[in-house]
Amino acid sequence: MTTLSPTLELACALIRRPSVTPVDEGCQELMCRRLAALGFAVEPMRIEDVDNFWATHGRSGDGPVLCFAGHTDVVPTGPLQAWQHQPFDALIDEQGMLCGRGAADMKGSLASMIIAVERFVADYPDHRGRIAFLITSDEEGPAHHGTKAVVERLRARGERLDWCIVGEPSSTELVGDVVKNGRRGSLGATLTVRGQQGHVAYPHLAKNPIHLAAGALAELAAEHWDEGNAFFPPTSFQISNLNSGTGATNVIPGELTAVFNFRFSTESTVEGLQQRVSTLLDRHGLDWQIDWALSGLPFLTEPGALLDGVAASIKAVTGRDTRASTSGGTSDGRFIATLGTQVVELGPVNATIHQIDERVLASDLEVLTEIYYQTLVNLLA
């Protein structure tokens, strides 16, 4: 392509900035310039080593607030020699695919958001309510000083967010075929089971923590935690790491460490899951210690103004009905939802996210731009 559309031109400009988490590399400065030119009040929020910004357009207190949220950081590229095209070249190949790290996750969405808002503000300069942007460079990393921290600042000063569209790549085969209207919670744990180190030839003088823990771990893996509900699948439990041993073949180890994770629905609580695990470990008579890490609570946006407005826009632009889903991992939507905000995730096809040769159909970003624009019209015109 010799002439790029405004969406693709901006998407390429963002992709060419190698913003590997938590580095922003000027992506937000570019976005802020575009928003400031529209009359947005732009507020950079650098927190620790993370760049964020909050921007608003419209009169405070005059109608609902629709926020676009997303992240400028991308995951590492992996081996450069494995890429067909260099990850930050941002080119469109012979098949019409926009290639580059962040094309799908999620610089393509960011470009579509900006262009849609530019068009909407030009068409409806006196729109009702407010349009907001909440952008971070710490979504792919620890996520401590990004959206989570910005949300706490907004909460402290009483900012209201009625609706939020997160640009995560939600689609599976065609743009808009799936939107996320919630996510499961994520509760991680590191379990240490203590035994007694000794010689393998004298097991009566030792306590093997692997043998001791095996039954409990098997029971945890087989446990039925809940039934799920109409919006969420049943809560799942997975062991991701299991470590023990001294490196020697003739030594019974003194400790075993197991790392596991719950992806849980609204049918379970953090306290309930923790108590059930503790009870099970005690029942097996183990000498144990556990460190819990809550990454996020489950959230759900039921059918209402936002979900209906997004679905109507997808139908108008593509002619197809969308399907709401809560599948997949966590997103920054979990932090925004704590403000009482209706949250929907809508973005391009997610087939190549975090992969070598990440790419998205270039024309899909034009469709996404139009869907964002129509959603603005449906909700704020």
- Annotated catalytic sites, by residue? 73, 139
Amino acid identity, position 178:
V
Question: For residues 229 and 67, what is the distance between their CA atoms, to the nearest angstrom?
Answer: 28
Tokens 């290639």 found at: 99
Q: For the chain, how many helices (H) and strands (E)?
A: 9, 19
Residue 160 tokens read as: 């209201």
Q: For residue 212, give the 3-state DSSP assignment.
A: helix
Amino acid identity, position 24:
D
Closest Cα to residue 147, out of 36, 295, 3? 295
Closest Cα to residue 313, out of 165, 148, 182? 165
Q: For residue 196, give the 3-state DSSP assignment.
A: strand
Question: Which H or E element spans position 148?
Answer: helix 147-156
Q: Residues with Cβ < 8 Å from 134, sequence gap 6 or more?
A: 52, 53, 54, 67, 68, 69, 147, 150, 151, 154, 164, 336
